[in-house]
Amino acid sequence: MQFDVVAWGPAQADVDFSVACMFEHEVGDAGIAGGLLGLDQALGGQLSRLRANGAFRAQEMETLLITLPPPGMAPRAVVVIGLGDPATLDSERLRRATRVAMREAIRHGARSMAFAPSVLDAGHSDNAALHMPTVMLDGMLSALRAEVALAAAGLAPPPALQHCIFDVGAPRLSEAAQEFSAAWQSHVPA
């Protein structure tokens, strides 16, 4: 499996399966921004409307699977994972979201996936204590190990997933690439 860090949003991710996260509401009075806003716009505002009318509340680990994205969107399918209340976001919730993302991509038969935590897009800016790259990579790898173990036990087909990309905003690309590289080094034995 190949892991990369790329500066694009969930609507532009040229992958089989693009994953974005969304809170029940944004921090303060801020509206959604960045890649999550781009995804909502590419969906004709449906993501915001679904949350506003309660069809998708974005509660912890609630998922919304979009299997027929509109023409012009790069991903072949999109899943949005709820992160609940932004005031109570912690590392474990983010880890669980990445596990859900990996499992959903594998169950969907995706060969490539992209993951956007969309935390900054909701105005959640105090993230140093979350150790996001380490936590997200840990969640992905633990879910992947579980899926490989299922396949080895003859209980599921082997995962087709070959490429996993972490989406970041362009201004953070260099810094994020370094953080993910350090996180990778801590997960891979020498």
Is residue 126 helix, strand or coil? Answer: coil
Is residue 134 helix, strand or coil? Answer: helix
For the chain, the domain total comes to: 1
Q: Which of 107-121, 125-139, 166-180 has the highest mean pLDDT?
A: 107-121
Question: pLDDT digits over 122-163, tens only?
Answer: 666 665 666 778 888 899 999 999 999 999 999 999 999 999
Question: pLDDT digits over 18-74, tens only?
Answer: 999 999 998 887 788 889 999 999 999 999 999 999 999 999 999 999 999 999 999
In angstroms and rounded to an integer, the radius of gyration of the C-alpha atoms of the chain is: 16
What pLDDT is attached to residue 121? 67
101 HSE (CA, 13 A, CB side): 34
What pLDDT is attached to residue 32? 86
Which CATH number fits the domain that encloses residue 151? 3.40.220.10
Structure tokens at 41: 């716009």
Instruction: Give the residue numbers spanning the domain of 171.
Output: 2-187
Count other C-beta atoms under 10 Å from residue 19's C-beta. 31
